[in-house]
């Protein structure tokens, strides 16, 4: 393919400007990210630990999140065994699909592969996506991928209007609702934005729209049947994430919530905004009419902002996590490059943009590797440095190989699942109620004694029941091992065996 300026860019720039080359380099980037994660010490992060526990009991629902991500993760765990390999493969596959989906959107709406590639690569300038999504996220990563492909399917539907296009969009809608409930905000914002534009209104007012509802309803129905009797618990968990336990004055809470929303948007989009200003420099504007796709995205963001602000006002929420905005953030580069294309940004600038994205990719890979190698030497530890293989070996050396393990947190429980795959691991909020009154298998109570030396409150109710069933008092002892990467910090586990 020729570049936008009509000349063939040399070397890597040419590879990045072609469809196959761009996707190949994108796949290579996420393959290296997966390898870095596999080479990290034998421990897992917060969301990863949650998936290791949920995988033990398949169901139509689990907690405050819909189950699709856990179903996908469970399938990989059954194939590869519960471990870091399945976690890294799923995460990086979904991130690849997010970037590839934005590239596919660009190929549909933009005039050149070069511009589409620059739009997709610019996701590397969104910290919440380039770093946080890679570091420790689960459902949000799947939601990003489905959000991007929802728009791709919508624009294909607007172009062709075939029954199969409506059906495909309906499948995506059903999967999105099975990923995170706030996908409903994205779908609603898209619906309202499209209805406001004559170019897209006929697509949604056509009788064929009913075809989209059929697969969406069928896909979501089984989880809905689970959700109805669990609605209060699920809604309580969701509201608890955004509402403070304090009861400030209404205006004070609203002000704090709106300020937090503004800070989240600014911190997520500031680098991308600077990139836009750099690419658009010297371009005062264009007399060209705003294309319908650009107008749709602009109205979509406006409606989304109004919906999020309305939720903050209704719930008096004081804090907004930038992670909740990711499905919207992933689409911002497309809108930006639609504007840049209308401004007539020259091809050399776009190639330099791809070069900067390549540099960003190298820096991100280096930083991710340094997080588990160099950072501990500087006194910066993460959960990945927890000495779980050594602590698990010490537990085995004391005679426990399989049975029930009751952990004081799902983080510790998930990490123990990595090393006791034949055991049933439970924790408060994660299957503890399924612990039998008088289990026949050995039972191990484990807690992080680095924080609390004595038996933590969340496990105290279990002890009398087990002591009565076993007719013996628990034998409590402690195991301590140094964190990976440096020897000046130790992790200590409290162990009570029945």
- Does the residue 380 lie in any domain? no
Q: Are strands 404-407 and 424-426 parallel, antiparallel or unpaired?
A: parallel
Both 418 and 348 in one domain: the answer is no
Both 464 and 350 in one domain: the answer is no
Both 168 and 256 in one domain: the answer is yes
Both 326 and 400 in one domain: the answer is no
pLDDT in tens, 391-427: 999 999 998 999 999 999 999 999 999 999 999 999 9
Answer with the one of 332, 351, 373 that is the final residue of a domain. 373
Full-model pTM: 0.92
* Cα gap 460→320, rounded to integer Å: 34
- Residues of the chain by 3-state class (helix, strand, coil), percent to 5: 65, 5, 25
The residue segments making up the domain with residue 453 are 386-497
Answer with the one of 373, 394, 415 that is the final residue of a domain. 373
Residue ranges in 17-64 assigned as alpha helix (H): 19-39, 46-54
Both 144 and 242 in one domain: the answer is yes
| Euclidean distance between the first and the last CA atom of the chain, given in angstroms as a whole number | 69
Both 351 and 469 in one domain: the answer is no
Answer with the one of 308, 341, 373 that is the final residue of a domain. 373
- Does the residue 2 lie in any domain? no
CB neighbour class for 285 (10 Å; exposed up to 12, middle 13-18, buried from 19) = exposed
Residue whose token pair is 């991500």: 69
- Does the residue 161 lie in any domain? yes
pLDDT in tens, 37-81: 998 888 899 999 999 999 998 899 988 899 999 999 999 999 999
- Does the residue 4 lie in any domain? no
* Contact between residue 97 and residue 42 where contact means Cβ atoms under 8 Å apart: no
Lowest mean pLDDT among 63-72, 114-123, 392-401, 481-490: 481-490
- Does the residue 487 lie in any domain? yes
pLDDT in tens, 361-371: 999 999 999 98
Q: Are strands 443-448 and 475-482 parallel, antiparallel or unpaired?
A: unpaired
Q: Which of 434, 409, 391, 407 is nearest to 496 (CA)?
A: 407
Both 354 and 415 in one domain: the answer is no
Both 68 and 135 in one domain: the answer is yes
Both 112 and 87 in one domain: the answer is yes
- Does the residue 403 lie in any domain? yes
- Does the residue 3 lie in any domain? no
- Does the residue 1 lie in any domain? no
* Cα gap 497→400, rounded to integer Å: 9
Residue ranges in 280-387 assigned as alpha helix (H): 292-315, 326-329, 332-343, 347-373
Count of CB atoms within 10 A of residue 279's CB?
21
Count of domains forming the chain:
2
């Amino acid at each position: 393919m020729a570049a936008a300026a009509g000349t063939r860019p040399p070397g890597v720039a040419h590879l990045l400007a072609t469809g196959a080359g761009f996707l190949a380099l994108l796949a290579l980037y996420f393959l290296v990210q997966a390898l870095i994660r596999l080479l990290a010490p034998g421990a897992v992060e917060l969301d990863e630990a949650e998936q290791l526990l949920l995988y033990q009991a398949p169901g139509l629902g689990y907690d405050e999140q819909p189950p699709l991500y856990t179903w996908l993760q469970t399938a990989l765990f059954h194939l590869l065994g519960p471990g870091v390999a399945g976690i890294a493969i799923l995460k990086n596959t979904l991130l690849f699909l997010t970037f590839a989906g934005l590239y596919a959107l660009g190929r549909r709406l933009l005039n050149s592969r070069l511009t589409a590639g620059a739009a997709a690569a610019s996701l590397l300038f969104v910290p919440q996506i380039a770093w946080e999504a890679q570091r420790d996220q689960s459902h949000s990563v799947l939601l990003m991928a489905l959000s991007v492909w929802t728009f791709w399917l919508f624009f294909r539907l607007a172009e062709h209007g075939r029954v199969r296009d409506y059906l495909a969009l309906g499948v995506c809608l059903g999967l999105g609702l099975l990923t995170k409930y706030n996908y409903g905000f994205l779908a609603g914002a898209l619906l309202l934005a499209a209805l406001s534009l004559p170019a897209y209104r006929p697509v949604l007012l056509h009788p064929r729209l009913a075809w989209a509802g059929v697969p969406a309803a069928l896909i979501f129905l089984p989880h809905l049947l689970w959700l109805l009797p669990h609605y209060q618990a699920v809604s309580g968990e969701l509201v608890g994430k955004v509402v403070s336990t304090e009861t400030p004055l209404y205006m004070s809470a609203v002000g704090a919530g709106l300020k937090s929303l503004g800070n989240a948007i600014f911190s997520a989009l500031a680098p991308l905004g600077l990139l836009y200003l750099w690419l658009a420099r010297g371009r005062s504007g264009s007399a060209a009419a705003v294309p319908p796709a650009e107008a749709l995205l602009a109205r979509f963001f406006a409606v989304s902002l109004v919906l999020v602000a309305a939720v903050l006002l209704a719930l008096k929420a004081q804090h907004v996590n930038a992670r909740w905005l990711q499905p919207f953030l992933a689409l911002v580069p497309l809108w930006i490059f639609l504007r840049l294309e209308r401004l007539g940004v020259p091809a050399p600038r776009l190639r330099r943009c791809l070069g900067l994205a390549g540099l960003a990719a190298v820096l991100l890979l280096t930083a991710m590797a340094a997080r588990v190698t160099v950072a501990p030497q500087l006194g910066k530890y993460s959960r990945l440095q927890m000495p779980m293989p050594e602590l698990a070996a010490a537990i085995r050396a004391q005679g426990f190989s399989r049975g029930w393990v009751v952990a004081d947190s799902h983080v510790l429980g998930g990490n123990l699942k990595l090393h006791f795959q034949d055991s049933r691991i439970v924790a408060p909020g994660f299957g503890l109620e399924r612990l039998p009154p008088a289990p026949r298998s050995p039972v191990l109570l484990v807690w992080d004694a680095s924080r609390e030396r004595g038996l933590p409150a969340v496990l105290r109710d279990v002890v009398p029941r087990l002591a009565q069933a076993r007719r013996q008092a628990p034998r409590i002892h402690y195991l301590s091992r140094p964190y990976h990467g440096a020897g000046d910090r130790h992790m200590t586990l409290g162990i009570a065996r029945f």
